[in-house]
Amino acid sequence: MKSVRPKKNLGQHFLTDLNIAKRIADTVDACPEIPVLEIGPGMGVLTQYLVEKPRMVKAVEIDSESVAYLYERFSTLKDNILGEDFLRMDLNQLFGGNQFVLTGNYPYDISSQIFFKMLDYKELIPCCTGMIQREVAQRMAAVPGNKSFGILSVLIQAWYDVEYLFTVDENVFNPPPKVKSAVIRMTRNKVTDLGCDEKLFKRLVKTVFNQRRKMLRVSLKQMFSAKPREGFYEQEIMTKRPEQLSIAQFVELTNMVEAELKAAQ
């Protein structure tokens, strides 16, 4: 069976260490019984361990050469190998509207987009695991006060508990990436309602972290077309920088901003 050539334009780095592949595949066991969707299986190094588990597995792969290889290698999985772009898929259609686990050796250049899409379908995805660039994993798992704490940290941790599981060196890939990788697991928390306007929450988080070195009383000015009521910028929270806030404080801040926006109407 002819090997697949890794393609730079698709950000392909094929994992070659089978022990690590099995460890990654086993991360889905935190959410047993429900089906698994693997993103970017490549030559099936994770797939071979996922299909051993007593659950349905589907794999989505944008590279036609990899799809042809997977068809040949996993003939019993053929109907569940999807030659599509994950970022364009309607995930409600995948498993008849039922929940599933998301996993994979994610392409570095679109990993953040993958996780933002996960958030759009958070009620369908109680667990997401896999391997990404270490720097991104550190941002996702960062706590308030840490310099890595940012947009990805807040938006994901609002809905998921994030675990940084282990680091993976460059030399176990073909071709080796220029950075280290990490395996993470995100498990849906018990939050069903943030307690604020979710769209405004996202907008606020992105706005203040785009000026992360500035105090909130400066960065929040972009949120308003008219000056807020007297005393708004004098509140204690306004002297903080975004990386100092907890998720609960971001929710509180969103409600404060919403009140001012409504008052200005």
State residue 11's pLDDT score.
63
Q: What secondary structure letter does DSSP report for 175?
A: S
What span, in angstroms and rounded, lies between the C-alpha atoms of 102 and 37?
Answer: 5
Q: What is the pLDDT of residue 1?
A: 55
| Residue range(s) of every CATH 3.40.50.150 domain in the chain | 8-188
CATH number of 8-188, picked from 3.40.50.150, 3.40.630.30, 3.90.550.10, 3.30.465.10: 3.40.50.150
What span, in angstroms and rounded, lies between the C-alpha atoms of 139 and 238? 24
pTM: 0.93
Burial (CB count within 10 angstroms: exposed 0-12, middle 13-18, buried 19+), residue 255: middle
115 contacts 140 by C-beta, under 8 angstroms: yes
pLDDT tens per residue across all 265 residues of the chain: 567 766 666 666 788 899 999 999 999 999 999 999 999 999 999 999 999 999 999 999 999 999 999 999 998 898 999 999 999 999 999 999 999 999 999 988 899 999 999 999 999 999 999 999 999 999 999 999 999 999 999 999 999 999 999 999 999 988 778 889 999 999 999 999 999 999 999 999 999 999 999 999 999 999 998 889 999 999 999 999 999 999 999 999 999 999 999 988 7
Give the pLDDT confidence score for residue 12 in this predicted structure. Answer: 65
**CATH architecture classification, 198-263:** Orthogonal Bundle (1.10)
Give the pLDDT of residue 10: 63
Residue with tokens 């105090």: 215
The torsion angle over the Cα atoms of residues 110, 151, 116 and 161, rounded to 10 degrees, is: 110
What is residue 14's predicted lDDT score, i.e. its pLDDT? 81
Locate CATH 1.10.8 in the chain: 198-263
Cα–Cα distance, 265 to 260 (Å, whole number): 9
Q: CA torsion angle for 88, 91, 95, 101 (degrees, to 10)?
A: 110
